[in-house]
Amino acid sequence: MLKSVSCVIAFVLAFLATVHAADKAAAKIGSPAPEFSLKDQNGNAVKLADFKGKIIVLEWTNPECPFVQRHYKAQTMTHLAHQYKDKGVVWLAINSNSGDTTAVNRHWAEQNHLAYPILEDSKGVVGKAYGAKSTPTMAVIDKDGKLVYKGGIDNDPDGDKSDRVNYVQKALDEILTGRSVSEPVTKSYGCGVHYEG
């Protein structure tokens, strides 16, 4: 009797150990984008609610990641942010890596002459709320505050496609012309976000 009980316990423990923990909190397409309040590189508090009624792009970034570095060298994000600023699109970069301080973000902002804020999320709360697992990962929020895009910046991990599709640009163009986002979810590529262990 005892042997079969311990077998059952072992079985249950093994079962629990291998069940993959679901991303419970991760925001879903079509649902309200999770609220947040984070500090930018100058110590100013930035809330998602500050931009109610606007189209918002969230960019998960990591100064040490070669994919992010390649995009910043090519000005992928900065160019896009500038291009759509006049169309009322707000661009916010978020750094969810544990250990990356406001000073790290400030240095990156200065190096790249960023016109948009980098928000410090070293506790990883906002990254986890949006299910960001790699950098760069992008999210687009529509004027009604709904998450309408989540995924990669483009379909070109190696940076050598001649027919590259920039998913964020495509989503923004669709939203701005009153259409729904045709590819709401794509796979991101990049370096893993380093959450607190």
Partner 1 sequence: MLRHRSWLFLSTLLLACVSCPAVEHARAKMLTDVRTVQPGKPFTVGVLLHIDPGWHVYWINPGDSGLPTAVQFQFPAGFDVGPVRFPVPRRFDLPGNVINYGYENQVLLTARVTPPKDLSVGSSIPATASVKWLCCEKVCIPGKAKLQATLPVDSRANPANTKLFEEWEQRLPVPPQRDSGVASATARLDPSGQATVTVVWKSAPARVELFPFPNDALSVKEVSIRHDGNTSALILRIDVLEGQKVKSDALPLLVAYDRDARRRGIEIDVPLEALKQQTR
Q: Contact letters (x/-) for partner 1, 43-62, by CB under 8 A?
A: --------------------
Query: Which of 50, 64, 110, 144: binder of partner 1 (CB under 8 A)?
Result: 64
Q: Give the x/- contact pattern for partner 1 in 83-122, rule: CB under 8 A.
A: ---------------x------------------------
Q: Does 188 bind partner 1 (CB under 8 A)?
A: yes
- Dihedral of CA 119/120/125/130: which sign? positive
Token pair 């006049």: residue: 86
Write 20-25 long-range contacts (CB < 8 A, 24+).
23/128, 23/131, 25/128, 25/129, 25/131
Going across the sheet that includes 137-141, the strands are 45-47, 37-39, 118-120, 89-95, 55-60, 137-141, 147-151
Q: What is the CA radius of gyration of the chain?
A: 19
19 counts as binding partner 1 under rule CB under 8 A: yes
* Residue of 11, 74, 75, 101 interacting with partner 1 (CB under 8 A): 11
B/e letters for 106-130, b = 16+ CB within 10 Å, e = fewer, are: bebbeebebebbbbbbbebebbbbb
* Residue with smaller CB distance to partner 1, 82 or 123: 123
Closer by beta carbon to partner 1, 43 or else 197: 197
How many residues sit in the footprint of partner 1 (CB under 8 A)?
A: 40
CB of 188 vs partner 1, minimal distance in Å = 8
Least distance (Å) from partner 1 to the CB of residue 186?
Answer: 7
Whether a cis peptide bond, with omega within 30° of 0, leads into 63 is no
Q: Is 125 in the site for partner 1 (CB under 8 A)?
A: no
Site residues (vs partner 1, CB under 8 A):
11, 14-15, 18-23, 29, 64-67, 98, 124, 127-128, 133-135, 157-158, 181-197
